[in-house]
Structure 1
Amino acid sequence: MFRNPNHDNKNMWFILDELPALQKVSSLPVALAKSRKYGGCFVAGLQNIHQLEAIYGSAECTSMLDFFNSKFIFRVSDQVTAYKSALTLGEQEIIETQENLSYGSNTMRDGVNMNNVERKKLLVMLSEIMNLPDLTCRPNLLCKTCW
């Protein structure tokens, strides 16, 4: 691939369906990392994250998936893939107020204690991803100039 300064909007698309079925392609991680500046665009599909981790290892699999800025999450059947997909779609921080009441034998010993507790919650629940209808997905579009 080569980027011609006179044709900046020309891209070369690589469509890889069933990515784990290709087995290990040693140049793929490098291509995902470096081809973007030369107009390389990748679309890849996989059904189960475990298949890709078994081929490339957990760290390299995570690294490769990070190069895909936009992701379309379709229905998955296992909880680990659903959890990783839900993490990809994001989390939200929630501040909950907890109130504790204590009662003593004397009215002077009664008390109220209020605390704010911060916690994170997935934007999309695992069960939502695992029960998506056919041909329905949850998009995660990070590219502002894609459309």
Structure 2
Amino acid sequence: MNNKEEFDKENVFGLGMPNDMFAQYFIGQSYLNPLVDIDNTNIFVANVTFEPGCRNNWHIHNAKSGGGQVLICTAGEGWYQEQGKPAQSLKPGVVINIQPGIKHWHGAKKDSWFSHVAVEVPGEDCSNEWLEPVDDEEYDKL
């Protein structure tokens, strides 16, 4: 879905603001729209929107116990890939449960805007380990 107006109609949780705080970990522009007040809850939930071709770097959600992330795809089309496995196509209604310690990346397809709700699973000593960008050559083959 390359048409931004059509995408905006489907993106029920809204675009939010440019994701400038984490821009160094993304290729392309992403947007973040927090869906809960993080000062009043122990769980982070946000709508993340990727422009066509935007994706985050490889990364790992680390935790001593618990932790990980759940992605609930809501609009457009994207990709999710775990290290050593083929990329999975993401469309509205797809839910991805990312276990802690798994190296992965996610983002939009080349020709589509994409949004997912990201739920950070509570745990002990949780942290994100940001790694190398997804190689353009590898991404372009998808």
Whether TM-score is above 0.5 comes out as no
Q: Over alpha carbons, which structure has the higher Rg?
A: 1
Q: Which has the higher helix share?
A: 1
Q: With CA pairs under 8 Å and 6+ residues apart, which has the higher RCO, 1 or 2?
A: 2
Normalized against structure 1, the TM-score is what? 0.25
Q: Which has the higher strand share?
A: 2
